[in-house]
Amino acid sequence: MQNRQEDGKKNGGKVFPLHLENDGHDHENENKDESGWKSHWDLLLALFILIVLLVLEYGFKIELPKIPSLVINGIAYFLAGRKVLDLAFRKSKRGDFFNEFVLMSVATIGAFIIGEYEEGVAVMLFYQIGEWFQDAAVSNAKRNIKALLDIRPDEVTVIRNNAPLVADPSIIELGEIIQVKPGEKVALDGELLSENASFNTAALTGESKPDTKHKGETILAGMINLNTVAEIKVKALFKDSKLSKILEMVQDATARKSQTQLFISRFAKIYTPIVFFLAIAVCLVPYFFVSVYIFQTWFYRALVFLVISCPCALVVSIPLGYFGGIGLASRNGILFKGGNFLDVMTTINVVVMDKTGTLSKGVFKVQKVIANNIDEKELVKLVASIEKNSTHPIAKAVTEYAGDSTNGVMTENIEEISGHGLKGKIDGKEMLTGNVKLLKKFNIPYPAEIENIVDTIVVVAINNQYAGYITIADEIKEDAAQAVKEMHSLNIKTVMLSGDKQSVVDEVAKAVGIDEAYGDLLPEGKVEKVQQLKNEGKHIAFVGDGVNDAPVVALADAGIAMGGLGSDATIETADVVIQNDQPHKIVSAIKIGKITQSIVWQNIIMAMTVKIFVLILGAGGIATLWEAVIADVGVALLAILNAVRIQRMKV
């Protein structure tokens, strides 16, 4: 199992700045934006000096005397390399000799020692220009993810003493009423008090299509009010809003490294010292094998070897690729809790799904009430009185159907029996409400024909006597069948697990094209089914939304939560959160994982191929420092551009 502990830094719902950790770069000035040309005047001036010197030497055939050439090139070198030299010195003082800054310093100073002034300047200059482009790419990736952090409003209008007051959202208390004008963002989760209002939910779901909400429906922070002044009763504190949790997830995701990232980080730590010693070998070992050994020639080849071996293309472009994957997913309403889960999604060959809230809408309506030796209205009142203690969508359907009839009803000792239903005392009567398994558990006889009812059913017992049932119908999500079809096109097997009756489960499975469907399952039954699949060597993604789904979400290789209707427990446990509850986003999550991994490996193969090729040419005396630096910077830029491409893709 992957580590699912929250390791991000949190403070009262605030999200701290993102860091691209372990990327081979110095982060002591992380908060400064140094990607603009004004902050790189020294590089531009050094470039100008180098161009003038090259034009004089190769264009006009004017070769400067050695001392003036050394002085002018030295000035250009200092302008281009002062930051690198400073970092190399500071890291060396700490005992860190094997890093790219020391590598570049040694290579360029060595070029000056043997009189190759322009080449030394060029190596340092183009290396720094490459770093400039890398920093710009990293800053852009961070900005794309940080854009999420700007969608929480800094102020909110709250109604106090019958008058509007502008306040900080973090001080608003539960139960207060906030006012949201057209065009404003909702700052806190709550319940709509106005008759209706339309909202843009793109910040949460990735879908810009307006969503009309009606009185009593849930409104989430981050939604944008579109058409009318809306009043909302606050149901969650600012730090506890669903949006705050989303932002924390995105923040934490950047700190969780994929296996590829971890491998490259470890590889760079081993690779760099090996390169140093190989460069020394290139310089000294030929002394024992060649008839005419010229130190300057082999020293130059060693410098070429050092320059081309710089691992910056790998250590920057790979984390940047995972940044891009997380950003692409976020814009599509999918939250990955770490780059490691992007990798996991590429291995999935079985998707196991819950029914209610995942493949079906989870919006239930009462269809029929059948009472036995009790008035129907009285039955509904008693059932609703106990069911209002549950958060299950079926319970909500019954309580909505009952309306105000439960007012004044006395409830005692309410207990939830996981996977079965509820038990308690209502107005002095012992009540059981739930599925048929609940009545079986308490050995209460009931008519056999109710087991043949296809719709979801709430069976009722009063004082240990069967008292009737209520049928409730759900609706399959519009994109469920297409999502399953797309999974099959990716050679992914689909399985549905549900606590509903097998007849209901079979009907839904047939409608959407599920390969295997199992009903009448308790939470532990779902766990057993997933464990069986894991024992067969399958790589499993489990998709669910209920509290009872949390254990099986944790067991799966990739746990996916439906974040719109999903319970907080399931969302916290999950590795991936789908914000708009649409099944086709499961396919999108898999595709994003595959896209990210593909581009990351393209960069690895491209960088290593070019480096090995030029290393061989350099050791053989064919490649010069010019080719080495162009190859190094060129492959780094190509890798970065390839990684940045992820953020602009469509899935």
Active site residues: 354
Length of the chain: 651
Q: Are 26 and 87 in contact (CB under 8 A)?
A: yes
What is the rounded CA–CA span in Å between residue 456 and residue 454?
7
What is the rounded CA–CA span in Å between residue 54 and residue 379?
94
344: left (phi over 0), alpha (psi -120 to 50) or beta: alpha
Amino acid at 621: G
What is the rounded CA–CA span in Å between residue 264 and residue 266?
5
Place of tokens 């719709």: 455
Q: What are the φ/ψ torsions at residue 351 (nearest 5 degrees)?
A: -110, 120
What is the rounded CA–CA span in Å between residue 629 and residue 111?
13
Name residues whose C-beta falls within 8 Å of residue 351's C-beta, 6 or more positions apart in sequence. 487, 492, 493, 494, 495, 540, 541, 542, 543, 586
What residue ranges in 221-333 does DSSP mark as E strands?
224-225, 230-234
- 72 is written with which tokens? 């002018």
Q: What are the φ/ψ torsions at residue 263 (nearest 5 degrees)?
A: -65, -45
User: What's the order of all strands across the beta sheet hosting 350-354?
Assistant: 334-336, 576-578, 558-562, 540-544, 350-354, 493-497, 516-518
| 645 three-state secondary structure | helix
DSSP alpha helix (H) spans, 403-501: 436-441, 480-489
DSSP alpha helix (H) spans, 442-575: 480-489, 502-512, 523-535, 550-555, 568-573
- What is the CB neighbour count within 10 angstroms for residue 601? 13
Q: Are 379 and 398 in contact (CB under 8 A)?
A: no
- 269 is written with which tokens? 């730590």
Name residues whose C-beta falls within 8 Å of residue 432's C-beta, 6 or more positions apart in sequence. 421, 422, 423, 438, 439, 442, 444, 460, 461, 462
Alpha-carbon torsion (511, 515, 518, 522), positive or negative = negative
* Residue 441: CA count within 13 A, CB half-sphere: 17
